[in-house]
Amino acid sequence: MTDDASNSQSLMERQTTGEDRVRMVARQLAEPRTANWVASQASWSHEPTKRVLERLVDDGILHRDESGTHTTYYPDYRRQAMQEAMRLRDSGHTVEELTDRLADMKSQIRDWEGEFGVESPNQLRGTLAEESLDVDDEDRRREIAREWEHLQRRIKIVGFAIREWDFLTPTTEPAEASS
């Protein structure tokens, strides 16, 4: 761990409660995780972590999946996407800037499709079986596949923010409920 990372970790531990840390970790989940994993990331014990996670489930912030061998928790991806779209709308960027950003992300994916002759991150991962690749090429392809998946998620959110630009405009007026 670098000095910066250890300093920021100790700062986080000093200035937050265990519950605060669990909430921070839970809000950043990108995939389903167990209570033990969250507890480890939050540097807190299992039982209180599980209680906080259950409250987050009750509040609709997380979902619980008990279908596997271990119970996992994952975020409400719709809520995350909506919050990110609102952050993009409120960030001071214009709709034109976001449209340019969207075009750049799509162009990057097209470049990778052309460079590797594949149509998806998993197809790119499948090329790792080629015996002619050296370790650096394998690492690069794995990293590109991760970035590609990230860009696919970002494209959806940025596209949503652009499509719903007017709807996402901050307002001081309460929304009217229709009957």
pLDDT tens-digit profile of 127-158?
999 889 999 999 999 999 999 999 998 999 99
Amino acid code (one letter) for 24: M
Instruction: Look at residue 27 in the predicted model and tell me its pLDDT.
Output: 83
* 158 and 103 within one domain: yes
Pair 102, 39 in one domain: no
Give the residues across from 34 on adjacent strands: 72
Which pLDDT does position 63 carry in this prediction? 93
CB–CB of 158/150 below 8 Å?
no
Total-model pTM: 0.64
177 within some domain: no
Query: Would residue 179 count as lying in a domain?
Result: no
C-alpha–C-alpha distance, residues 22 and 36, integer Å: 11
Last residue in a domain, options 53, 75, 97 = 75
Query: Which of 26, 52, 75 is the endpoint of a domain?
Result: 75
Q: What is the pLDDT of residue 122?
A: 95
Range of the domain at 37: 3-75
- Split into its structural domains, the chain has a count of 2
Are residues 108 and 58 both part of a single domain? no
Question: Are 66 and 86 in a shared domain?
Answer: no
174 falls within a domain: no
Residue 171 belongs to a domain: no
pLDDT at 1: 47
Same structural domain, 64 and 90:
no
Contacts of residue 128, defined as CB under 8 A and 6 or more positions apart, other chains included, come to 138, 141, 142
Which DSSP state fits 74? E
* Residue numbers of the chain with a pLDDT score lower than 50: 1-2, 8, 11-12
User: Is 141 a member of any domain?
Assistant: yes
CATH number of the domain that 24 lies in? 1.10.10.10
Residue with tokens 């986080």: 12
Which of 75, 96, 130 marks a domain boundary? 75
* Share above pLDDT 90 across residues of the chain, in percent, rounded to a whole number: 66
Of the candidates 75, 78, 95, 112, the one whose C-alpha atom is nearest the C-alpha of residue 159 is 95
45 & 109 share domain: no
